[in-house]
Amino acid sequence: MMRGSIGCHCRALSRILVVVTLAMSAPGGASAGNDPVGLAESQLVRLTSAAPTEDYALIAREFGATIDTVRQAGAPDATLTRLRQLSTQMRDRTHERLRAAEAEACDSEGALEQIYKSRTWDDLSFALAAFPYWSAWLDFTLAERPSQAAHRAQLLYHAKRGFRGASMQIFQPNLVYGGWLGLGYLANLEGQTARATQIFEALKKALAADTNHPVYKMAEAELAVMRGGARPVMAAASPSANASAANGETEILHAEAMRLLQQHRVKEVGAREAAERIRKIIASNQMTMTILNDVLEFQKEIAREDLGEYTDLVLAEYNFNNQQWFTAVGKYKAFFQHEPRTPGLNFDRFKYRLAVAYLKSNLNDEAAREAEKLLRSGVEPDVQKAATKLAYIARAQLAENHTLSTQQTALATAAKRFLAASPTDGDADGARLILAQQSGDPGAALRYLNSVKATGRFAGGVERTRFYVLAKDFAHAAQTGNGLEQIAKDAMSAWQELPADEKKSLQNQAFFMQLQAVIDPDPNRILKAIELAEQKNPAAGSTVLRAYLWSRLKLYERLGQPERLLADIEARGDLPIEAWRLEQYFPFVRKLKDMSLRVNIASALAPRLKAQPEMERRFRLLQIEDWLSMNDGEKAYDAAKRLIKDYPRAGDGYRVLAKAAQQTKRFVEADNAWRIITEKVPPKQDIWWEGMLSRIEIRADSTRPEAACELVTAVARRLPAPNDHYKSRFNALRQRTDCRVSAGA
């Protein structure tokens, strides 16, 4: 575009602006005088809550005359900036006046409807559109000035918003044309020549019946100048923006449809005609996200109209916004079955809303799947963040009614993903609690719990989970013996924070007694407490009774009085002993260093173990091994023979029989017992090496030591030995027997 200067263009344009906006100046012409800011401030003062609405429309016109004057005069930046601030305040005052009018009629639906069909609405809606329109021209003027280069992008953005808002005003056609004219100048200013040409051509077409209209003449003049030569480009044109811009006819159809829908909102007439124009846009494959979003702003007005392939989407949005969730699901699904493939359209946000509708319909599995499908497709960041949270919420609700491991795994994955994406979200603490509850690692679980910021939200859930995590950790430590006292102290602190109703649980009380058994300084006091608890709760379940017994045994250990277990067993008389008791007796007895006590306990239990063959075998083996350790081979041998008779398939029985026979110099029987073992187990097992080396020793000490050589050869073929002990032992036997090993061994 060829001009002497941009400023001259602005002044020429400025002279017609008042005409463009319905001759906005008041009769007689309000002058800005020497102090346009002072005049505008006085106009703002007149916009009170008691002022009649026609004053708002009048001041909007007077303010327009003020803007026209200062732009013609090339007022300084500070003046334009202050007027821009005052324009915003005037629009805010207008909003307040409209809300006041609506509040007066809020008790009567009929009265409220009358407002939207009255002069009150006409005046205020005009003012609401006019003030931003004038602000847009101020922004546009400032953007052209080199002094505002640092703020140019922001000024152009605000100008575009103001012009666009004016272009949508159905009852103010000159505002519409003025808004489009401003958008045309903006496009040209940004170097988007093709876009500017489309807008000016569209304006000429729209005003073809009135060629004397100021906007028609300005559009025609701009086109003539643009054809005469290129205007200096102030900003590089965006090829993608030009490529995606709708053509001029689409812009007009778009604008007309929006005006008709605005009309329908007020007068209840125009939706059918608007739908006709939107169908033309769809048919020409010119639908854009901007147009679609504008249409959806009027979903209530157009919901009954046929919009072709977009009908289901509009209905889905309408149902969604009216919380008709299940109906919305059906409409969204119908739309996505035949999703339009127009370039530039992105329906990810609507797919997210489908996931929300699923969730609101209690279709949690479908909601999670839809959200996770979005996450896999690589959506824009804000949709990704929202979908991440929705997937977590859906999985959490689904898991409440399902205990399947697959559901729990999916929930943990969703919770981790949500926590990583939104660690400060208000619901992130819930994810931390879930991950703590599901974690198999007590350390990780406690870290999650310690990072929960608002523990009070979960009605004791955090404290309860902490207690249970420590209880699980305690149970593991009780088996390994590692760190038991420290865990007990931590769990004791967690007990103090446990909700009162949880402390009433017999199982929790029994666990608390276990903690006391480990760290309470008075073991005898805890023993008395256990006795009272057992008397008070004789019918308690095995879990509770097991905890009492564990505590009792722990206290015997701390007191150095393990023999009290033997007294307890004898005190039970002929009462059967439950399997769960024996499971605790055995590790306690096996750890005792006093072998005589171990043998005596096993002997006391022996008559009562017939109904528990597995435990009977384990205690009998323990007793035999203790006799062997005490060199009481005869007792061990007799007991081993009885064990083999009762349990002929027990490999451990042949092992202790072999050892007992060897200790009592029954070497042939010992060799045979070891042979039975070595023929049944693979050479990779330690018991094979133990058996083979024992047989070599037996034969080496016999009257026929050469009989050991075949065994030496067999063992040599299986080298290397599994450990240094067997290696050293075999080397010593090899030298002792002086056997020749065959080649290849």
In a domain, 423, yes or no: yes
424 pLDDT higher than 60: yes
Specify the CATH number for the domain of residue 430. Answer: 1.25.40.10
User: What is the structure's pLDDT at 245?
Assistant: 36
pLDDT, residue 34, reads 63
Residues 195 and 342 in one domain: no
Supply the pLDDT for residue 645.
92
Looking at the fold, whether 218 and 332 belong to one and the same domain comes out as no
Q: Following DSSP, what letter does each residue of 509-550 receive, concatenated?
A: HHHHHHHHHHH-S-HHHHHHHHHHHHHH-TT--HHHHHHHHH
Asked if residue 314 and residue 241 are part of one domain, the reply reads no
Least confident of 258-267, 347-356, 519-528, 711-720: 258-267
Choosing from 456, 482, 513, the residue where a domain stops is: 456
Residue 468 domain-assigned (yes or no): no
Query: CA angle, 181 as apex, 179 and 182 as ends, to 5°?
Result: 65
Which position has the higher pLDDT, 233 or 581?
Answer: 581
Residues belonging to the chain:
745
Inside any domain, residue 133 = yes
> What is the rounded distance in angstroms from the CA atom of residue 262 to the CA atom of residue 113?
15
The pLDDT value given to residue 103: 66
Per cent of the chain over pLDDT 70 is: 85
Alpha helix stretches (DSSP H) within 378-522: 381-400, 405-421, 428-438, 442-450, 461-480, 484-497, 500-503, 506-519
Q: Which of 599, 587, 492, 605 is nearest to 549 (CA)?
A: 587
- Please tell me whether residues 81 and 158 are part of one structural domain: yes
Query: Which among 213, 245, 277 is the end of a domain?
Result: 245
Please tell me whether residues 48 and 154 are part of one structural domain: yes
Q: Is residue 742 very low, low, confident or very high in pLDDT (cuts 50, 70, 90)?
A: low
- Is 226 in the same domain as 346? no
Whether 228 and 82 map to the same domain: the answer is yes
Distances in Å between the Cα of 745 and the Cα atoms of 410, 694, 715 are 56, 20, 9
The Cα 633–Cα 642 span in angstroms is 14
Q: pLDDT band for 247, please (50, 70, 90 cuts).
A: low
Main-chain dihedrals φ then ψ at residue 454, nearest 5 degrees: -115, 80
d(CA 533, CA 509): 10
316/420 same-domain check: yes
Cα–Cα distance for residue pair 339/292, rounded to 1 Å: 14
The region, left, alpha or beta by phi > 0 then psi within -120 to 50, assigned to residue 481 is: left
- Output 312 or 222, whichever has higher pLDDT: 312
Task: Name the pLDDT band for 240 (thresholds 50, 70, 90).
Answer: very low
Least confident segment among 106-110, 259-263, 564-568, 634-638: 106-110
pLDDT at 381 over 90: no
Q: How far apart are CA 574 and CA 572, in angstroms?
A: 6
pLDDT of residue 523: 92
> CB 70: neighbour CB atoms within 10 A?
22
CB 18 within 8 A of CB 25: yes
Mean pLDDT of 462-472: 76
Count Cα neighbours of 512 within 13 Å in the Cβ-side half-sphere. 16
Query: Looking at the domain assignment, is residue 303 inside a domain?
Result: no
Is residue 619 domain-resident?
no
Rounded to an integer, what distance in angstroms lies between the CA atom of residue 508 and that of residue 488? 14
* Residue type at position 326: F
- Across 688-709, average pLDDT: 91
234 and 375 fall within a common domain: no
What count of other Cβ atoms lies within 10 Å of the Cβ of residue 265? 16
Q: Which range is least confidently modeled, 168-172, 430-434, 586-590?
A: 168-172
Q: Is 404 inside any structural domain?
A: yes
Of the given ranges (94-98, 616-620, 640-644), which has the lowest mean pLDDT? 94-98
Residue 302 has phi, psi (to 5 degrees) of -110, 5
Most confident range (mean pLDDT) of 106-120, 454-468, 506-520 is: 506-520
How many domains is the chain built from? 2
Lowest-confidence segment of 274-278, 298-302, 471-475, 741-745 by average pLDDT: 741-745
3-class state of residue 48 by DSSP:
coil
Tell me, yes or no, whether 29 and 128 share the same domain.
yes
Give the residue-averaged pLDDT of 544-554: 90
3-state secondary structure 346-405: CCHHHHHHHHHHHHHCCCHHHHHHHHHHHHHHCCCHHHHHHHHHHHHHHHHHHHHCCCCH
Q: Please indicate, yes or no, if residue 412 is contained in any of the structural domains.
A: yes
Q: From the CB of residue 389, how many other CB atoms can be counted at a distance below 10 Å? A: 20
Q: What is the pLDDT of residues 280-324, one digit of tens each?
A: 999 888 888 888 888 888 888 988 999 999 999 999 999 999 999
Average pLDDT, the chain: 81
For the cut 70, the answer to whether the pLDDT of residue 647 exceeds it is yes
Cα gap 230→2, rounded to integer Å: 6
Q: How many helices (H) and strands (E) does the chain have?
A: 39, 0
More reliable by pLDDT, 728 or 58: 728
Whether 240 and 315 share a structural domain: no
212: which DSSP letter? T
Mean pLDDT throughout 433-446? 71
Q: Is the pLDDT of residue 2 over 60?
A: no
Question: Which among 115, 134, 135, 137 has a CA at the least distance from the CA of 124?
Answer: 115
Claim to verify: residue 233 and residue 340 sit in the same structural domain: no
- Final residue of a structural domain among 391, 426, 456: 456
Rounded-to-10 torsion of CA 233, 238, 242, 246: -110
**Domain interval for residue 36:** 6-245
pLDDT of residue 110: 45
Percent of the chain with pLDDT over 90: 25
Evaluate the CA torsion angle 73, 75, 80, 86 in order and state its sign: negative
> Would you say residue 736 lies in a domain?
no
